[in-house]
Amino acid sequence: MITVKDLHKSYGKLEVLKGISCEIDASQVVCVIGPSGSGKSTFLRCLNLLESITSGTVVINGHDLGDRKLNTSAVRQDVGMVFQQFNLFPHMKVLENIMIAPVKVAKKPKAVTREKALELLDKVGLASKADVYPSALSGGQQQRVAIARALAMDPTVMLFDEPTSALDPETVGDVLQVMKRLAEEGMTMVVVSHEMGFAREVADRVIFMDGGVIVEDGNPAEIFDNPKEARTQAFLSRVS
């Protein structure tokens, strides 16, 4: 589903990703962990072209991101993204937030989209909030709307960049619950998160990044209970 080979990313002289390679299969849930500044967000953002790729190859669901004739919009419609800060459109009610991209970008009929949006809202537990503005919601509720908004485009892959880091502790659980359900339904997910409980329970794989490279890549039990690399051990002892 996702093939990354020797991905490099530099901002001017600063090399942030120094050769990332990995293979992610359909329906896999991969958690990416690592210290702040290690390039996790940059890696994720390269996967939906929010950042240009300096060198290397990335192929997602058949789209070769290095292809000059690539249809950027098509890739992004295929790859949903959820941000730490939710980034809901503040001037649109919850339902409009969810409907805007399917209607304006994918050109789907309004009525069908509306049905689907309401279903998605129900799925994230916010059926009663269709008609309110995001500012009236808690962080956790906003993040669940953001997930529904991304899902409305029928993506084949979902990227999550620290989706619970900006939330009050009491609203984290609901968001993780929604993500867990999504994983169980077979969504391919790449999740940057330090929610170790979630990673252990839901992830098929954990990738530990540090200094722009993948230091360790394995199943959660291996990484958490038996890390091979000293850097992984040091990181885990600091966060837990």
Which strand ranges, in their side-by-side order, compose the sheet holding 63-64?
14-24, 2-11, 55-60, 63-64
Cα dihedral 168, 43, 26, 214, rounded to 10, equals -100
Q: Which does 106 bind (CB under 5 to 8 A by kind): ligand ADP, another protein, Mg ion, none?
A: another protein
* Chain centroid to CA 237: 25
Q: Which residue's C-beta sits nearest to Mg ion?
A: 41
Residue 160 tokens read as 């999550």
Q: Which residues ranging from 183 to 202 are in contact with ligand ADP (CB under 6 A)?
A: none
How big is the site for ligand ADP, counted in residues (CB under 6 A)? 11
* Pairing status of strand 29-33 against strand 188-192: parallel
Nearest to 24 by CA among 153, 176, 203, 144: 203
- Least separation in angstroms between residue 10's CB and ligand ADP is 9
Name the phi and psi angles at 87, rounded to 5.
55, 40
Residue with tokens 């609901």: 174
Region binding another protein by CB under 8 A among candidate stretches 16-24, 76-84, 110-118, 195-203: 76-84
Interface with ligand ADP (CB under 6 A), residue from 7, 24, 29, 40: 40
Q: Which does 38 bind (CB under 5 to 8 A by kind): Mg ion, ligand ADP, another protein, none?
A: ligand ADP
Q: Please report whether residue 77 would count as binding another protein according to CB under 8 A.
A: yes
- Least separation in angstroms between residue 161's CB and Mg ion is 6
Q: Which residues ranging from 20 to 39 are in contact with ligand ADP (CB under 6 A)?
A: 34, 36-39
Residues that bind ligand ADP (CB under 6 A): 11, 14, 16, 34, 36-42
